Structures are given as C-alpha cells and as structure tokens.
Amino acid sequence: MTDTTQEPVHSSNQTGDISRSYWSDVWRQFRSHKGAMAGAIVFFGIIFATLLGPWFYNVDATFIDIRSR
C-alpha cells in the first residue's frame, strides 16, 4: 500500500468525451433526418423565390386591362 504509482494522473479536461453545445446537437440531429432536410430545402426555396421574384417578374399589380378580357 505504500508503493507509488507510475501512471500520470489525468486532468479533468482529458475525459475523452467531446463536449457539444445544445444547438450543435440539435443541428446534427436535424441534418441526419432526411425528411427535415427536404422540408428545409423546400421552405427556404419558397422564401428565396418570394424575395427574388419581383426582380424577374416586372408587372404592375394594380394595373387592370379590361379590354383584354
């Protein structure tokens, strides 16, 4: 019982576990879910189209041409 050990004592930062934040864990789980990623792509595609659409489709929304009916 009086012998000393030759192994170094591990410090608290060498536990072997990788520390992840809550949001990085949420993002990792979200990326692994195929349905969620497909929904996110569709959602951001719609947002992208609504933001860029007026630059490509230049028609006055208040103009009504009655004779073209």
pLDDT reported for residue 3: 77
Query: What is the spatial distance between Cα 36 and Cα 44, in angstroms, rounded to a whole number?
Result: 12
Domain total of the chain? 1
Q: Are 30 and 36 in contact (CB under 8 A)?
A: yes
Within-domain flag for 49: yes
Residue 7 counted as domain residue: no
- Contact between 37 and 30 (Cβ < 8 Å): yes
Whole-angstrom distance, CA of residue 10 vs CA of residue 63: 76
pLDDT per residue over 15-30, tens digit each?
566 788 999 999 999 9
- How high is the pLDDT of residue 24? 94
Expressed in angstroms, the distance from the first to the final Cα of the chain is 102
Q: What pLDDT was estimated at residue 49?
A: 94
- What local confidence, expressed as pLDDT, does residue 15 receive? 58
Residues of the chain with pLDDT under 50: none
Structure tokens given for 21: 């934040």
Residue 36's domain comprises: 22-55
pTM score, two decimals?
0.56
